[in-house]
């Protein structure tokens, strides 16, 4: 029995194989440069089978985006912020988010490609909107606990804070090449990630722990 026949008889496994190959191809070439032919060749599948599963290149890209965001959500669900004191909990979230991006550069490439296109694919997704709701609730509870203890300022916008946490890691990791040239720095040095992570913690906690700004 050929590999192709075994794969087509296991639709769940075949779908995962297609998504894995598609993730690599889209991350390497971007949406415009990616070719379904190459995705098919990678696992010996036919283009027809891929289109049978996902309909079109656009639908396949939506599935890839949903898959990586779902993966990030699963990683976030492992965070038990209730186990930490407020400051330690925020540090854990910053470190967790930063390290995920550092260990999954394909996430940055795929999301960057989608932003260039105005998030037209994400707008068609039925799964994206609620993916971060569990993490938002965990973070909100952590911030409220910190405010009650007098550790954090009050009335922090949870979504704005999380966007800032993401940005401090995402921008650095997605632009290390150009930033290194502009500022004449080696942003790929062995300690570059730990230095940036400490800076991100200082920036976020510097804002949260500014008690004079309580409202």
User: 110 Cβ partners below 8 Å, 6+ apart?
Assistant: 23, 26, 27, 64, 65, 68
- Give the model's pLDDT for residue 56: 93
Higher-scoring residue by pLDDT: 42, 109: 109
At 7-18, the pLDDT tens digits run 456 778 888 889
Q: How far apart, in Å, are the Cα atoms of 212 and each of 42, 150, 154, 199, 215?
A: 58, 11, 10, 22, 9
**Owner of token pair 């946490």:** 165
- CATH annotation of 66-213: 1.10.357.10
* 66-213 has the same fold as 1-55: no
At 63-118, the pLDDT tens digits run 999 999 999 988 888 888 888 899 999 999 999 999 999 999 999 999 999 999 99
Reported pTM: 0.85
At 152-185, the pLDDT tens digits run 999 999 999 999 999 999 999 999 999 999 999 9
CATH homologous superfamily for the domain 1-55: Homeodomain-like (1.10.10.60)
Instruction: Map out the domains of the chain as residue ranges.
Output: 1-55, 66-213
């Amino acid at each position: 029995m050929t590999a192709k026949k075994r794969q087509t008889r296991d639709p769940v496994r075949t779908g995962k194989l297609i998504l894995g190959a598609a993730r690599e191809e889209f991350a390497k070439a971007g949406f415009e440069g990616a070719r379904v032919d190459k995705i098919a060749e990678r696992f010996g599948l036919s283009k027809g089978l891929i289109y049978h599963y996902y309909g079109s290149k656009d639908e396949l890209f939506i599935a890839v985006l949903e898959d990586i965001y779902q993966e990030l959500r699963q990683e976030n669900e492992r965070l038990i912020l209730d186990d930490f004191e407020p400051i330690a909990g925020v540090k854990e979230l910053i470190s967790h988010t930063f390290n995920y991006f550092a260990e999954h550069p394909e996430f940055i490439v795929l999301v960057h490609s989608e932003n260039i296109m105005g998030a037209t694919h994400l707008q068609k997704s039925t799964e994206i909107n609620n993916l971060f709701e569990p993490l938002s609730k965990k973070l909100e509870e952590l911030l409220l606990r910190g405010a009650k203890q007098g550790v954090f300022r009050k009335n922090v916008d949870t979504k704005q804070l999380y966007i800032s946490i993401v940005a401090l890691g995402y921008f650095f990791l997605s632009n290390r090449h150009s930033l290194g040239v502009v500022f004449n720095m080696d942003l790929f040095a062995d300690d570059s990630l730990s230095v940036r992570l400490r800076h991100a913690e200082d920036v976020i906690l510097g804002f949260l722990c500014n008690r004079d700004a309580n409202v």
